[in-house]
Amino acid sequence: MDIEQFRKAGYQAIDNICDYFYSLGDKPLVSPVEPGYLSKLVPSSAPDAGEDFDQISDDFKELILPGITPWQHPSFFAYFPTSCTFEGILGDLYSSSVSNPGFNWSASPACTELEVIVMDWAAKLFGLSPAFYNTSEVGGGVIQTTASDSVLVAVVAARSRYQKAHPNTRIEELVVYTTTQTHALGKKAALILGLQIRVLEVSSDDEFGLRGDNLRSSLEKDKQAGLKPFIFIATVGSTSSGAIDNLQEIGQTLDNYPNIWLHVDAAWAGVALSCPEYREPLRLADINEYATSFCTNFHKWGLVNFDCSGFWVRDRKLLTEALDVTPLYLRTKEGDAGTVIDYRNWQLPLGRRFRALKVWFVLRSYGVSGFQKHIRECIDKNKTFIGLVINSKYFKLVTEPSLALTVFRLLPGKESTQAQTTERLNELNQIFFDLISSRKDLMLTKTSLNGEVCIRFVVGSSRTTLDHVIRAYNILEEEANKALQLWAE
Positions in the binding site for ligand PLP (CB under 6 A) = 80, 146-148, 183, 185, 235, 237-239, 265, 267-268, 297, 309
* 244 or 357: CB nearest ligand PLP: 244
Instruction: Write the DSSP symbol of residue 34.
Output: P
Residue 312: CB minimum distance to ligand PLP, A = 15
CA distance 137 to 43: 53
Are the CB atoms for 246 and 200 separated by under 8 Å? no
Q: Using alpha carbons, select from 182, 142, 126 the residue that is nearest to residue 375.
A: 126
For residue 478, the tally of other CB atoms under 10 A from its CB is 13
Min dist CB 54 to ligand PLP, Å, is 35
Smallest separation, CB 200 to ligand PLP (Å): 16
The amino acid at 293:
S
Least CB distance to ligand PLP at residue 298 (A): 10
**Residue 327 three-state SS:** coil
The Cα 441–Cα 306 span in angstroms is 23
What's the closest the beta carbon of residue 421 comes to ligand PLP, in angstroms? Answer: 30
Minimum distance from CB of 50 to ligand PLP (Å)? 35
How far apart are CB 299 and ligand PLP at their closest, in Å? Answer: 7
- The HSE-up count of residue 60 (CA atoms within 13 Å, CB side) is 10
User: Min. distance of Cβ 231 from ligand PLP in angstroms?
Assistant: 15
Q: How far is the CB of 144 from ligand PLP (least distance, A)?
A: 8
Q: Quick one: 146 or 163, whose CB is closer to ligand PLP?
A: 146
Give 455 or 480: the residue with its C-beta nearer to ligand PLP: 455
Indicate the residue among 133 and 268 with the shorter CB distance to ligand PLP. 268
Distance, CA of 126 to CA of 194 (rounded, Å): 34
Contact 128, 287 (CB under 8 A): yes
Do 292 and 159 form a contact (C-beta atoms < 8 A)?
Answer: no
Report the C-alpha gap between 471 and 441 in whole angstroms. Answer: 10
Nearest distance, CB of residue 448 and ligand PLP, angstroms: 15
Q: Give helix 356-390 / helix 466-488 axis angle, nearest 10°.
A: 50
CA quadruple 131, 134, 138, 143: dihedral positive or negative? positive
Of the pair 425, 459, the CB lying nearest ligand PLP is at 459
Nearer to ligand PLP, 73 or 456 (CB): 456
Torsion of the alpha carbons at 190, 71, 437 and 397, rounded to the nearest 10:
70
Q: What is the dihedral of CA 209, 214, 216, 220, to 10 degrees?
A: -140
The per-residue b/e assignment along 118-151, b for 16 or more CB within 10 angstroms, e otherwise, is bbbbbbebbbbbebbbbebeebbbbbbbbbbbbb
Q: What is the layout of strands, in order, in the sheet containing 196-200? A: 140-144, 309-313, 293-297, 261-265, 228-235, 174-179, 196-200
Closer of 293 and 309 to ligand PLP (Cβ): 309
